[in-house]
Structure 1
Amino acid sequence: MCGIHGIYRLDGAPVESAHLSLMGNITQHRGPDDEGQHIDGDCGIAMRRLSIIDLAGGHQPLSNRDGSLWLVCNGEIYNYRELRAELQAKGYQFKTGSDSEVLLHLYDAEGDDFVLRLNGMFDFALWDARRRRLLIGRDRVGVKPLYVMQDGQRLAFATEAKALLALPGVTAALDPTVVASYLQLGYVAAPGCIFKGIRKLPPATLLAVENGKIREWRYWRIAPTIRHDWNEAQWIDQVRTSLQRAVSMQMVSDVPIGAFLSGGVDSSAVVAYMARTSSAPIRTYAIGFEGGEAEALYNELPYARQVSKLFGTQHREILVKPDVVGLLPQLLWHMDEPLADTAFITTYLVSQFARQDVKVILSGVGGDELFGGYRRYMGGHYARRFQALPGWLQSAVGFAADRLPADRHSGLLNTLRLAKGFVASAGMAPDARYTSYLQVLGQDLIAKLMLGEQGCGQHPLAQAFADAGHEDELNRMLAVDAETQLPDDLLMLTDKMSMAVSLECRVPFLDHELLELAASMPSAIKIRDGRLKHVLKQALSDVLPDDILNRKKRGFGTPMGAWLKRELAPLLRRLLSSEVVKARGLFVPAVVSGLIADHEANRMDGTDALLSLMNLEIWSRVYLDGRSSDDVALELKSYLA
């Protein structure tokens, strides 16, 4: 696990070591244990290392015996032992015990298709000196991020965008063409990037530079084929076997390892199978919030304690009232791009807590996207029921629902918020209905909000729907999530926030073989009679109690919407005041003021919309205005004094 970066000079000039050092210095948090670089004329690759496997011998860059191949790799290859044995049987000699070294010899043996043999999370750069060829790539699901910048003289890449900003001649400039996309989803979807001139390499993608020519291609996609030859019992057995295998594989480590435990189905399942695999007690970590009703809705500590007791874990937990104002500038610097998902705050806090004991953590991220765990997946079910009502009753319900109050941080008002969304979208086509659930702001509102002629263009989910392939509605939604929200929101924040404290986070639910299994499962097996994650819960019925399997789901975020109405209200009003909005020059001040008023009056739950605007302004002060995160934090705190 580390951060990688490098430069290929398209103009043939030699790469300067100092430039690679600048990139590495800015991402030292990703790899505080070691650093290294290899330069061969017009190409240089480098890394910052967090030592996890082969602590003494795994220094990077790695090379083969004759020095014709060089590699830097960020992540873990979970099937490296099997691949290593296979390659040794073919005569390949290994210099280290590192999992990453298998990439060198596998590339030599099989060419670019070697990535299809890897089970892991990774991004890598491989220099083939024989062909004067650079190959960079990213894992199938997009657990590890990779940014690319290209100008007339060079192609540069890095695990974090800020490393590219450290290069001479590169400045932090906003790309106005992605602002609308960001406001629609609350994150910037690949290949877009908030920085002008920088882009994300999409998941499951390789990029090669050879003889000055650049070629980029997708090497893997989730197959849209559904299996109908297994009954439910067979599916349950397959899920059990695959999840146990994935967890066991991802427990390989030469350093202390633990697990995030919220007490939800997914994290509890990971802990259950870790406990079955390990001879020693598992270390688990949980977080809760101090406060009133809103904070209580996000406090899952009692459930985490129950699961911990069940499996005899070494459990630690923290109850926090986070210094959000002090944290946001720092965390947005680490994120590289603004984000409206408050889970990045929670993930950072619990990662920081766990890092006191362990270097590797397992997470339940991905279970909802594989097996149908979000309420929004029930949209079609509710729409069909609504459309079965008489027309006059549909109109009356729609009229009433439109006037319901909404607030996700109150039990009753959150139910009303969901009801409003389902009723408003009931008459839409399936793709449009699902888009309405996912978007933070609609295109019509964004058109009113944004200054100038930028407009919204094509919705960022449109291409994902075009590529989805599935005919049935649920699997189509799951495929879209796997292409968009999963890599560009959930996995991005998980990587950036855990690596901010030098913690490696692994996600066994996103083992690609388990993902392929879930993708081939009929939707009626995943959700049955309104029961979300039916097959997963049945598969876990022998290891988890019913009250954990069937309890109400809560997101792994913060009660930010409630805070924006209470203690953070002065911060919101100062950051999004008409004067500030006008000076930034992106949005119409009156429309922003209207969003604040609607949120405060519970006419809409504007948490994500306001947080997307607020975080964009804080991000702009750090990156566009060139201020330190500490300086910005002091300014924000003064707003609350």
Structure 2
Amino acid sequence: MSGDVWFAILPDGEPGVAAAQLLRPWATETIDHHSGRPWLLGSWPDGQVTVGAAGARRVAVIGRCPVTADELSARAGRLRDAEDMERIAHGLTGSFHLLVSVDGTVRARGSVSGVRRLFHTRVAGATVAADRADRLAALTGASPDERVLAAHLLTSPLPYPLDDHCVWQGVRAVPSYDCLLIDADGWASTRRWWTPPEPQRAWQDGVPAVRAALTAAVDARTAGEDTLSADLTGGLDSTSLCFLATRERLLATREQFPAAREQEQSRPAGPKLVTLRWQSLDPDNDDATWAARATAHLPDIEHITPATGQWPLWYSDLTALTGDAVLTDEPGPWVRDGARMAELCRLMTGRGSRLHLMGGGGDELFSSFPPHLHDYVRRHPLSAWSRIRTQRASQHWPLGQLLRQLADRRTFGQWLTAWAQGLTTPQPPSPALVRGAPSTAWGVDLRMPPWASRDATEAVRELIEEAADSAEPLAPQRGQHTALTCVRTGGRGLRLLDQVMSRQGLGLAAPFLDDQVIEAALAIRVAERSTPGRYKPVLAEAVRGIVPDDVLRRNTKGEYSADFHAGLRGNRAGLLELFDGSLLARAGLIDDAAVRASLLGVHPTPEALRSLSSSLGSEIWLRARSAPTCPPSAARTESAARTESTPSTAITEGAP
């Protein structure tokens, strides 16, 4: 299926019926409450929605989860009320939205990382929720919120605590760790459903839980697939996923394990795997060496490595992204990769894949970010000094700078206030370039781009200062807070990419960003997720025995700045064209002449390059949005010809 994939959630009352009439012109699928009133409307492919029922109780899973309708019906039978949702969902794996309808109350939530999100607004006197904010905006005629759009110039996706702001006026995002409750009269409230784990496990105790969770996450993607595709860059994250996805095929062909082979004969050998790695222009990038080592252990896969001239540069074919075929519900920096994503879709769907695995989330979960040192030095001062000495020696951190960072005692709110006040101060050079000490603050002190207008900067400053009054850190420890922040950023980025790719017939999945994997990884002590001299030790141990030892020895990471600069040089004319008559400039958010001056400079400043993709994403998003969104939806399924009164997804009735 190609086209829009979306769903809306309606209350089990007369206000919901009225709202449903406004949604029906876009919808091709309908699922009802037990009362017969519409519960879910939208457009989705076969297998995307699974519903179980027991008497008047309904449970729905929307997304990637290997649960059957019969199994959901059994869970629905244990549902006492809407508050019971998380208890009866225990053990479900994958990435999905979870919903229940019971006794006139609807409860719904997305995922921890934000790969699955929910939004809500008032329509015809009722709260209506949806997984896409733009569907609600089209329904209500909402315009973009220019304050939030200005924040997307800062970076995109937005960082915490700005990331729960919706870019559409009057449409509200459900916070990632909250669920939404809607009563029969159409009134809504939110409630916390997830709390980050305390990072108390030693890594050797946490490794088995990570292995089990990651294996289940990959299995949730291989289930029911004949062909699956994946990145195989040579990095540990994507390589681990490839070996997990093919482990049953490997077991079935290993003659040295006849018992294992006999056991596998009674089970499917798993899907065929097609992998891709693109060639970096940097001759020092060693991804190719490690990818070749991995593929040597995977004889049963098809590995694709496009020649350099056959793989688009970053920023290619940008004007193709302003049509309505690539709409996302909020701006994102993915536009830099638009031509590459289109080529990836062509290559993989042409070989039969409908789902593509990516290693996103691996860095966020299995690396220790510099802020963990701020926590470590306070909890374990003696051992912390040994670690700091080792890392200083390998990375040449100046001791004075590092000690000043570690002495910082600002609260999260104080740091936000300082960030707001410094939005236009010069960005300090990257520590990697000047061999400076890394920041151990609560977050990155991002700066507005040099072409941002004064009004845009003031709008963003107001948003941050408002957040400083009430926002709490995601965890008490800076290291854990930073990991959670990065997970949310990665999840929101993947969500936008999936919106683009799914329209072209290839869904995206990042198993590392599944709830169960996040919980297992973040329960391990922050300092033990990465230790000096070892690269991602938790992940390496979790996949040991599945990924060969000689592949696990890698302790480097590919670097792609050469590809970035080549893309910039090769597509400068297209970039200039996009900012000629800029819609961001018309909205008073940027000075388009300043953008062009930055792009035409012989050596664009690092500050300009750092901000380019976010500004470009916002400009293209506005241009694509200038075309009206009219029903019916572009999405069509084989079952679309069914009448609106016929449920599009079978509901299996269980015991009441």
TM-score by length of 2: 0.71
Q: Report 1:240-639 matches (<5 A).
A: 240-248=211-219, 250-253=221-224, 256-278=227-249, 279=252, 280=269, 283-289=272-278, 293=281, 300=287, 303-317=290-304, 319=306, 320-322=310-312, 324-329=317-322, 333-341=326-334, 342=336, 346-347=340-341, 349-356=343-350, 357-372=352-367, 386-388=397-399, 419-420=432-433, 423=436, 426=438, 430-431=440-441, 434-436=443-445, 439=446, 442-443=447-448, 450-451=455-456, 453-459=458-464, 466-471=472-477, 473-482=478-487, 484-489=488-493, 491-529=494-532, 531-542=534-545, 543-546=547-550, 549-550=553-554, 552-554=556-558, 559-564=563-568, 566-577=569-580, 582-589=585-592, 591-593=594-596, 595-596=598-599, 600-604=602-606, 606-624=608-626, 626=628
Instruction: Evaluate the alpha carbon distance shift between residue 582 and residue 446 of structure 1 in structure 2; reply closer, same or farther with a 3 A threshold.
Output: closer
- Alignment deviations for residues 443-467 of structure 1 (CA, whole Å, 9 cap, x no partner): 5958755458524235499699833
Instruction: Evaluate the alpha carbon distance shift between residue 314 and residue 106 of structure 1 in structure 2; reply closer, same or farther with a 3 A threshold.
Output: farther
Residue 127 of structure 1 is matched in structure 2 by 101
Q: By how many angstroms is 1:624 displaced? A: 3.5
Instruction: Evaluate the alpha carbon distance shift between residue 178 and residue 11 of structure 1 in structure 2; reply closer, same or farther with a 3 A threshold.
Output: farther
Q: By how many angstroms is 1:284 displaced? A: 3.3
Q: By how many angstroms is 1:626 displaced? A: 3.8
Partner SS for 2:479: helix
Residues 1:112 and 2:85 aligned together: yes
What is the alpha-carbon distance in structure 1 between the residues aligned to residue 372 and residue 625 of structure 2?
Answer: 37
What is the alpha-carbon distance in structure 2 between the residues aligned to residue 539 and residue 63 of structure 1?
Answer: 34
Partner SS for 2:459: coil
Residue 161 of structure 1 is matched in structure 2 by 133
Instruction: Evaluate the alpha carbon distance shift between residue 365 and residue 620 of structure 1 in structure 2; reply closer, same or farther with a 3 A threshold.
Output: same
Residue 148 of structure 2 is matched in structure 1 by 178
Count of aligned pairs between the two proteins: 551
Q: Is the 8 A contact 2:451 2:594 kept in 1?
A: no
What is the alpha-carbon distance in structure 2 between the residues aligned to residue 13 and residue 274 of structure 1?
Answer: 42
Could you list the structure 1 runs, at least 4 aligned residues long, displaced by more than 6 angstroms after superposition. Answer: 296-299, 373-380, 460-465, 555-558
Amino acid at match of 1:276: R
Q: By how many angstroms is 1:132 displaced? A: 2.5
After superposing the two structures, state which structure 1 stretch, 258-267 or 543-552, moved more: 543-552
Amino acid at match of 1:216: T
Instruction: Evaluate the alpha carbon distance shift between residue 540 and residue 283 of structure 1 in structure 2; reply closer, same or farther with a 3 A threshold.
Output: same
What is the alpha-carbon distance in structure 2 between the residues aligned to residue 183 and residue 597 of structure 1?
Answer: 20
Higher relative CO (CA 8 A, sep ≥ 6), structure 1 or 2?
2
Residue 109 of structure 2 is matched in structure 1 by 137
Residue segments in structure 1 that go unaligned for 5+ positions in a row: 26-34, 82-95, 395-415, 629-641
Residue 224 of structure 1, aligned match among 173, 195, 198? 198
Residue 7 of structure 2 is matched in structure 1 by 4
Q: By how many angstroms is 1:310 displaced? A: 0.8
After superposing the two structures, state which structure 1 stretch, 177-186 or 346-355, moved more: 346-355
Q: By how many angstroms is 1:6 displaced? A: 3.4
Amino acid at match of 2:236: V
Q: By how many angstroms is 1:5 displaced? A: 1.6
Residue 633 of structure 2 is matched in structure 1 by none
Residue 191 of structure 1 is matched in structure 2 by 164
What is the alpha-carbon distance in structure 2 between the residues aligned to residue 347 and residue 107 of structure 1?
Answer: 42
- Alignment deviations for residues 527-574 of structure 1 (CA, whole Å, 9 cap, x no partner): 21154413323444542354664253237999454322x232112223
Residue 32 of structure 2 is matched in structure 1 by 38
Residues 1:77 and 2:79 aligned together: no
Residue 411 of structure 2 is matched in structure 1 by none
Q: Is the 8 A contact 1:269 1:544 kept in 2?
A: no
Q: Is the 8 A contact 1:348 1:497 kept in 2?
A: no
Q: Is the 8 A contact 1:355 1:503 kept in 2?
A: yes
Instruction: Evaluate the alpha carbon distance shift between residue 50 and residue 387 of structure 1 in structure 2; reply closer, same or farther with a 3 A threshold.
Output: same
What is the alpha-carbon distance in structure 2 between the residues aligned to residue 359 and residue 445 of structure 1?
Answer: 41
Q: By how many angstroms is 1:352 displaced? A: 4.4
Q: By how many angstroms is 1:610 displaced? A: 1.6
What is the alpha-carbon distance in structure 2 between the residues aligned to residue 365 and residue 309 of structure 1?
Answer: 23
Q: By how many angstroms is 1:22 displaced? A: 2.9
After superposing the two structures, state which structure 1 stretch, 359-368 or 449-458, moved more: 449-458
Residue 635 of structure 2 is matched in structure 1 by none
Residue 45 of structure 2, aligned match among 42, 47, 50? 50
Residue 181 of structure 2, aligned match among 193, 199, 208? 208
What is the alpha-carbon distance in structure 1 between the residues aligned to residue 303 and residue 323 of structure 2?
Answer: 25
Q: Is the 8 A contact 2:598 2:608 kept in 1?
A: yes
Partner SS for 1:466: coil
Q: Is the 8 A contact 2:199 2:525 kept in 1?
A: no
Q: By how many angstroms is 1:71 displaced? A: 5.2
Amino acid at match of 1:618: I
Q: Is the 8 A contact 1:77 1:100 kept in 2?
A: no
After superposing the two structures, state which structure 1 stretch, 185-194 or 15-24, moved more: 15-24
Instruction: Evaluate the alpha carbon distance shift between residue 134 and residue 389 of structure 1 in structure 2; reply closer, same or farther with a 3 A threshold.
Output: closer
Instruction: Evaluate the alpha carbon distance shift between residue 195 and residue 530 of structure 1 in structure 2; reply closer, same or farther with a 3 A threshold.
Output: farther
Q: By how many angstroms is 1:216 displaced? A: 0.6
Partner SS for 2:151: helix
- Alignment deviations for residues 390-440 of structure 1 (CA, whole Å, 9 cap, x no partner): 99xx9xxxxxxxxxxxxxxxxxxxxx95524763x75x5x225x413xx4x
- Alignment deviations for residues 138-171 of structure 1 (CA, whole Å, 9 cap, x no partner): 133333233322357232222223332442xx22
Instruction: Evaluate the alpha carbon distance shift between residue 553 and residue 155 of structure 1 in structure 2; reply closer, same or farther with a 3 A threshold.
Output: same
Q: Is the 8 A contact 2:275 2:303 kept in 1?
A: yes
- Alignment deviations for residues 363-401 of structure 1 (CA, whole Å, 9 cap, x no partner): 32221111117799899856996342599xx9xxxxxxx
What is the alpha-carbon distance in structure 2 between the residues aligned to residue 115 and residue 557 of structure 1?
Answer: 47
Residue 22 of structure 2 is matched in structure 1 by 19
Q: By how many angstroms is 1:347 displaced? A: 4.8
Amino acid at match of 2:30: G
Q: Is the 8 A contact 2:232 2:291 kept in 1?
A: yes
Q: Is the 8 A contact 1:258 1:361 kept in 2?
A: yes
Q: By how many angstroms is 1:575 displaced? A: 2.2
Q: Is the 8 A contact 1:74 1:122 kept in 2?
A: yes
What is the alpha-carbon distance in structure 1 between the residues aligned to residue 371 and residue 222 of structure 2?
Answer: 32
Amino acid at match of 1:220: W
- Alignment deviations for residues 580-628 of structure 1 (CA, whole Å, 9 cap, x no partner): 6543422234543454356x51431633412222221221112145499
- Alignment deviations for residues 113-132 of structure 1 (CA, whole Å, 9 cap, x no partner): 3365143321244433xx33
Q: By how many angstroms is 1:271 displaced? A: 1.6
Instruction: Evaluate the alpha carbon distance shift between residue 382 and residue 141 of structure 1 in structure 2; reply closer, same or farther with a 3 A threshold.
Output: same
Partner SS for 2:347: helix
**Cα RMSD between the aligned structures?**
4.2
Partner SS for 1:123: strand
Partner SS for 2:97: strand
Instruction: Evaluate the alpha carbon distance shift between residue 596 and residue 462 of structure 1 in structure 2; reply closer, same or farther with a 3 A threshold.
Output: farther
Partner SS for 1:190: coil
After superposing the two structures, state which structure 1 stretch, 253-262 or 4-13, moved more: 4-13
